[in-house]
A and B are shown apart, each in its own frame.
Chain A
């Protein structure tokens, strides 16, 4: 046996171990993806029969045959509207402040940064408690209304928007800023006319992903008192509301008590929710691919 073979080539036993390890890795991955597939197929089988125009167009009802998701769908649309109107200015504003203005060596800016990181990992139900104590009752006392629900969700996903916004701003090369400033533009003119337009695709992607997180959140809405049995759409910010995940949760809870009457409703609701999510994610991916700039 030559010296080169002794060093360079793994022995037969080693090669078998290598192959086994590789197969174990693939098996683990297959298990994870397999569960995801089973989940989607299971929900589709349970819910497909219920998913028709009546389901979208009817209000919820004690009678499982007539029940639909209209109030919840409109409630969710209202919530997402409030949430978007809150997170876009506040989230982008914070991102601009931290990236373009803040002096990173100052302790308070450091604190804001650390704070955003921690907020991103606070359990969603804790935001529900915040909403309950400050928005629904307490100082602001909006009541169990759209405005309180939307703002609670907004606070929950705000860190996501800030983090995505900062990354988008950081990706704009500083030569753009310097060029603009050298031509006599002020700092804000530079940000507003040069930096922000270049960062918009990244920011928009972040906002859509944040909204697609918010749309499926159930726990905080339970705590801020979303109603479960409502037969009207929200008419304004001060209107009582339900939302799709809340409606689904209600149907799931009923399914486990009754004789399985409500399970197809819950599954059909989940299908609508997942379709909405896929559409939102599709838009985000499209935005990223269409407008992504390489510098």
Chain B
């Protein structure tokens, strides 16, 4: 085909070469196909997760009423009489996440404001990697620290709080520290992308540095800041090792954060630790709770992806 094109051209202008490939290169197509296959693996992962969770969850709801699960306030799946109300686990997740955000939002935003508006480039270059280290240390290390140091030495020793060895407060605060880098780095990016002209305009009108930061830069970067908080929230909801080690494994339908509160993730880890036989009640609850966790984080993730998109479009 290509050869025919060349001859046809050759009759008119003998010297003009064809810009088309001399022949179809099958290797190129095969490679493209292989690469597409690689890309499909990530898609398959999502389908795999949803399928695995749904399959067993459906079986689970064949035995346990949907509203008993979703609105029940008693979680004793492995004892007699078994009760499958997931709300205490959701309360545990909610409590540790909320405490974590109460720590991470002020500290993370302060770090972001300082790095973006106040720090000289050299200071910024030193502090940023140190902050990132908070996110790079394995969470099991934070769990160890919460259990062996933070609860006994800080909460009980320094603040004289009457908390249990395992308590949601310590777990939540430590989760807060490990999500600081998420809040700080995305918020900082978003503040730095605020055009310099806005700051200069405000300074020109006689605003102080504080006024410029709080009334000009902060509102302009708000959607990015919100996105960072939402992403940090998703991370806090999914955090497992800190709550398993320091948060305790007693489900609690209440808000006594000084005591143990089991979270969705902690239940999954604690239950899966023993070798759970396929098809047993434990096995099914594992997937039902996993589905609940996945659904919660999916909603949060979709919101955060949308927000990030939105703020990116503003100044680019």
Contacts and interface: CB of A to CB of B under 8 A. Distances in A.
Contacts of B310: none
A283 to B, nearest CB: 14
A172 B26 CA distance: 26
Interface stretch (A58-66, A77-85, A193-201, A217-225): A217-225
B265 A158 contact: no
Given A14-B208, A25-B114, A222-B269, A118 B298 contact: yes
A101 B130 CA distance: 38
A88 B16 CA distance: 44
B110 interface: yes
A255 B145 CA distance: 13
B77 interface: no
B273 interface: yes
Contacts of A144: 275
B297 interface: yes
A4 B265 CA distance: 61
A239 interface: no
B58 to A, nearest CB: 13
A132 B278 CA distance: 10
Contact of B238 (A126, A213, A225): A126
A279 B149 CA distance: 26
Interface stretch (A67-75, A108-116, A229-237): A108-116
A222 B273 contact: yes
Contact of A124 (B27, B208, B238): B238
Interface in A154-202: 155, 158-159, 162, 186-188
Interface size class of B (residues with CB under 8 A): 35 or more
A219 B241 contact: yes
A56 interface: no
Name B's interface SS.
helix
A273 B143 CA distance: 14
B148 A263 contact: yes
B34 interface: yes
Interface stretch (B43-51, B59-67, B84-92, B190-198): B43-51
A125 B301 contact: no
B224 to A, nearest CB: 16
Nearest to B29: A188
Given A112-B42, A133-B56, A125 B48 contact: no
Contact of A223 (B46, B209, B269): B269
Interface string B20-61: 010001011001101111111111011011001101100000
Interface string A128-140: 1110111001100
Interface string B291-316: 00110011011101100000000000
A62 B214 CA distance: 58
Contact of B237 (A94, A98, A123): A123
B144 interface: yes
Nearest to B52: A133
A101 B286 contact: no
A248 interface: yes
Contacts of A118: 46, 298, 301-302, 305
B140 A28 contact: no
B225 to A, nearest CB: 15
A107 to B, nearest CB: 13
A112 B136 contact: no
Contact of B41 (A8, A90, A121): A90
A91 B147 CA distance: 37
A122 B49 contact: yes
Given A36-B134, A125-B265, A273-B141, A7 B39 contact: no
A259 interface: no
A10 interface: yes
A159 B48 CA distance: 15
Contact of B206 (A7, A29, A133): A7
Most central of B42, B148, B235, B294 by chain A CB within 10 Å = B42
By CB atoms of chain B within 10 A, which of A33, A119, A124, A126 has the most? Answer: A126
A275 interface: no
B141 A39 contact: yes
A287 interface: no
Interface in B230-274: 231, 234-235, 237-241, 244-245, 265, 268-269, 272-273
A114 B304 CA distance: 12
B240 A125 contact: yes
B204 to A, nearest CB: 9
A31 B141 contact: no
B141 A43 contact: yes
A25 B113 contact: yes
Given A29-B127, A277-B136, A277-B137, A38 B35 contact: no
B8 interface: no
A132 B297 CA distance: 20
Interface string A36-63: 1011001100100000000000000000
Contacts of A186: 21, 25, 28
B111 A94 contact: no
B177 interface: yes
A291 to B, nearest CB: 19
12 contacts: A6-B206, A14-B210, A25-B118, A29-B111, A33-B131, A43-B141, A94-B39, A121-B301, A130-B52, A186-B21, A215-B138, A219-B265
Given A93-B37, A158-B42, 11 more contacts: A33-B127, A33-B131, A36-B133, A93-B38, A118-B46, A129-B290, A158-B41, A212-B136, A245-B140, A248-B140, A270-B141
4 pairs of A and B residues whose beta carbons are closest in the complex? A123-B238, A216-B138, A93-B38, A28-B110
